[in-house]
A and B are shown apart, each in its own frame.
Chain A
Amino acid sequence: MQRETWINLAILLGLILVPLWAVVMDEPFTITLTTKVVILALAGVGLNIALGYGGLVSFGHAAFFGVGGYAMGVLASHAQSYTPMQIGALEVEGTKSMLIIWAVAIVFSGITALFIGALSLRTSGVYFIMITLAFGQMLYYFAISWPAYGGEDGLSIYVRNGFPGLNTLDPIQFYCICFVLLCAALLVSARLSSSSFGLALHGARQNAERLEAVGVRPFKLRLTAFVISGMITGLAGALFADLNRFVSPTMFSWHTSGEIMIFVILGGVGRLFGPVVGAALFILLEHWLGGISDFWQFYLGLILLAVVLFARGGVIGTLAGREVAHD
């Protein structure tokens, strides 16, 4: 087995053991912190498909994270106020069912990604970065000026949404849901990476012209990857909103896009577990450095600088070595 596989298994084991330890020690805060890691890692797994496999430096993934969050917020707020949504002549009831909310979040973030991708993938390099950023900010300002759903103040949801057979207000049970979804997304990501679609996507990143010469159109590949990526990040947004029982325009902001990108870069661009390690490190540093200094972002910036300069494969790349296919 490759060294990277052992590292991945160790990370997975850590994600099982830490919350178990927290249950035994009665540390619900640790469970919530680990849940946050898992959800943000899920968002990173989504971005990693576009950025790591496809080489698409999207600076607007907060758009999908926010769409997922607002899908949850809008549906749950209508359910808790017992008022249906008015869509044209249609009246649509809200819901507190996680399964329905996830489906809506995935579909809407997928449609958003399809629209943004279809326009922005006609550009490349710095223009692609700027267009994705612009779309993210457009949605951010739209959310701010949307008073029906809280505007700048956001929306509070008083009770966490439900999942059949589980008490989602119990931190460990909600953690289990998020962990299973992360594992499913990692499985999708791994399968995708080694499929002929994924190989062509890697090929498009390395030499798009050559890929066209063997009869594959890079645009279609990239758009598909971008949509899948957006859907996974959208699901993470719905879970994040459920974790906090709160959604606000901040979910759409470029800070969020930057943070998701940091998870991927810190852990290792294109590495399956890169976003998981990146998100875990980010949250731990935020927690730890935040306790030491108010300027914790400054120190985080120094660490990120060190990773970019001296550990270009990220944490996973440094531990596992760089000679890995698709890196």
Chain B
Amino acid sequence: MTLLNITALEAAYGASQVLFGVNLSVAEGEVVALMGRNGMGKTTTISTLTRMMGMKSGDIQFGGTSLNRLPSHKAAQLGIGLVPEGRRCFPNLTVEENLIVAARDGEWDFEKVAQLFPRLKERRDQLSSSLSGGEQQMLAIGRALMTNPRLLILDEATEGLAPVVRQEIWTAIRTLKAQSGLSLLVVDKSLKELASVADRAVILEKGRDVWSGAPADLTADITTRYLGV
């Protein structure tokens, strides 16, 4: 069953249009990789669907509800959890407080987040600004999970992290896929890891969705043409 359905989405920063009719869907329990080179509209698509940014035209349906006119806090309350690019934890709150701020009723609580990321339990009383980049990323994912979302969006969740930490984050994402049944929309630069975890991939090129299919069908020609690898 389709959880998120975006149709002909157009968005602009002032006079500068960035999205030119993006179509994107995510089914219940599905993991979708949103791919594309820098500046192709991935983060703008995410900002628009989470209602952090206005849209020019198009339609966003989530769980049968239109998000077109909703403010971002209402979209989050409906079950869209976002792990933003750059993590953006609340710097002067402790790890536990960062999680409490986001908490809503549901299966995800502090203990369950701590099972996924045991390091957060060790650091529970530390200010989030004193955490390493990897730990802050874990906290950002934990904070989004504490909202008990139906769709978790990870925007560049492994960017700028050491390879070992990056593997920890990918392991967590695989655990989420295997155990939670959450729908995931993942944006990342690591093609290999994305292909291993995603059920489906969508490629954006200059604000349009230009390819969609199973990761196994990503041929060298497609990746060279659209992803530059």
Contact = CB atoms under 8 A, between A and B. Distances in A.
Contacts of A323: 127
Nearest to B97: A199
B143 A327 contact: no
B152 to A, nearest CB: 12
**Main SS of chain A's interface residues?**
helix
B102 A214 contact: yes
A326 B92 contact: yes
A213 B143 CA distance: 10
Nearest to A210: B88
B100 A199 contact: yes
Interface residues of A, number: 20
Contacts of A211: 101
Contacts of B119: none
A119 B143 CA distance: 31
Interface string B144-157: 10110000000000
A148 interface: no
Contacts of B90: 202-203, 206-207, 210
B100 A215 contact: no
Given A214-B147, A323-B127, A199 B93 contact: yes
Nearest to A197: B101
B52 interface: yes
Contacts of B52: 209, 212-213
Contacts of A209: 52, 72
Nearest to A196: B100
A58 to B, nearest CB: 21
Given A196-B101, A214-B143, A215-B77, A206 B92 contact: yes
Interface of A: 196, 199-200, 202-203, 206-207, 209-217, 323, 325-327
Given A206-B91, A213-B72, A325-B94, 9 more contacts: A196-B100, A196-B101, A196-B103, A199-B100, A206-B93, A212-B52, A214-B144, A214-B146, A215-B102
Interface of B: 50, 52, 71-74, 76-77, 81-82, 84, 88, 90-94, 97, 100-104, 127, 143-144, 146-147
5 contacts: A207-B90, A213-B84, A214-B81, A214-B146, A215-B73
